[in-house]
Structure formats: C-alpha cells, structure tokens
Amino acid sequence: MPAIPLEAAEGARPAAAFAGKTRRIDRFGATAYIAAMALRDILILPDKRLRKVSEPVKKVDAGVRKLVEDMFETMYDAPGIGLAAIQIGTPKRVVTLDLAKKEEAKNPQVFINPEIVWASDEKALYEEGCLSIPEYYGDVERPAQVKVKYLDLDGEPHEIEANGLLATCLQHEIDHLNGVLFIDHLSKLKRDRVLKKFAKAAKRTSEPKRAAE
C-alpha cells in the first residue's frame, strides 16, 4: 500500500486501533507518512454537503485508492451495505458496496464514476435506509433492473446488469453522487417530517449547553 502523508488524511479520525492512544509523529523522519486506513465521520442530514453534485474521478490514483480504503472501513464500522464518498465529505464519484450476508464471506465492490446506462420499466419496491439519515426507513420504488457502467480500482471500464438489492443499492448510491437522498423519492409530507426532525436534532446538538442552575 502506498504511504499517505498524514496531512492528506484531513477530516479523518483515527482508526479503532489508534483510539485512546496518542500517535507520536516524527514529521521529518520516516514516520511522517502513514498508510493506515481511517474511520471517517459520516455526514448526517441536514448537512448541506449531502446536496452537492460529486465530481468525476479523472485518474484512479493512490489518493482514490486510499479514499476507497477509508470508505470500506467506515462502511463496515457503521455498519452499512453501501457508501458514497460524499457521505464522508469527499465530493468524488466513488461508491463502495458489500451486500454479503453476515454468514457469508465479505464481498467488497467498488464503483468509480458509475453511470446508469439503462433502466427497466419494471419497478421494485424496497424499504431503504441511509447512513446519513440514521434510524429512518422508507419504501422507495425504483427500476427493478439497471445496467451500470463504471471504472474499477485499476481504472478499467466495466458494465454490469443488476437486479434485486444490488440494483436498489446502486441507484441509492448514484443518487448520493447527484446530491439526491432516498427521502426525495417519498411523499412531500413524509420528507418534510424527516427534514424537520433532523433539523431539530442538529439545532439541539449545536446549542451551547446551559450550566446546571
């Protein structure tokens, strides 16, 4: 794995292995570079960055590979079955997925610059969740099958035909890359209720705590 300058891990918080420990960093010696994966904070509604349209990846380089490692660490820790880079604050068109069941071996999948090139007329309903909208679930209707083109970690182009949970997840994550959240597919009444609830919660956490009287 290539070494990553510590400064490049901006916005990162230490991986579990470092939790509670002080990392001694000799900025001028060999240890000035770390290659460790980092657990990153997941943006939560109503964070405005979730509404940003992410930029295409121009070159699949070491920085993109480090981003993907951080995404997997963060996704598995959450836990989640998918993650878009913008959910950890990086506006790049990168998606990670792992749809393996608990008892199955891990099946990490990476989609760089994913694009839906075909969608079926047939629809499927799935109760979706989102790591950026914790503990809220809603039924979303989407095309039952999609064809998606994307680049892999070597920058090689691929196209897959997806159905079932893979089709749902890919569409959910590609929506994230376009600043769209699954609640945008719900009725205005339901969406407004969720937005209000999360706006209230954010206000509560940002308010200074009053000293006990």
Say which entry of Zn ion, ligand K1U, none residue 80 contacts (CB below 5 to 8 A, set by partner kind): ligand K1U
Sort residue 11 into left (φ over 0), alpha (ψ -120 to 50) or beta: left
What's the min distance (Å) between Cβ of 24 and ligand K1U?
35
Q: Which region among 35-43, 123-131, 156-164, 189-197 touches Zn ion (by CB under 5 A)?
A: 123-131
The b-or-e profile of 22-48 (16+ CB within 10 A means b, else e) is: eeeeeeeeeeeebebbbbbebbbbbbe
What's the min distance (Å) between Cβ of 157 and ligand K1U?
24
What's the min distance (Å) between Cβ of 105 and ligand K1U?
16
When asked if residue 177 is in the footprint of ligand K1U (CB under 6 A), the reply is no
When asked if residue 80 is in the footprint of ligand K1U (CB under 6 A), the reply is yes
My answer on whether omega of the bond before 2 falls inside 30° of 0, hence cis, is no
Neighbours of 106 (CB within 10 A): 8
Neighbours of 102 (CB within 10 A): 5
Nearer to Zn ion, 97 or 130 (CB): 130
104 is catalytic: no
Specify whether the CB–CB gap between 74 and 37 falls below 8 A.
no
Residue with tokens 């920058």: 155
Q: Which region among 28-36, 53-61, 103-111, 122-130 touches ligand K1U (by CB under 6 A)?
A: 122-130
When asked if residue 130 is in the footprint of ligand K1U (CB under 6 A), the reply is yes
Q: Any idea which residues carry the catalytic annotation?
A: 173
Positions in the binding site for ligand K1U (CB under 6 A): 79-84, 126, 128-132, 168-169, 172-173, 176
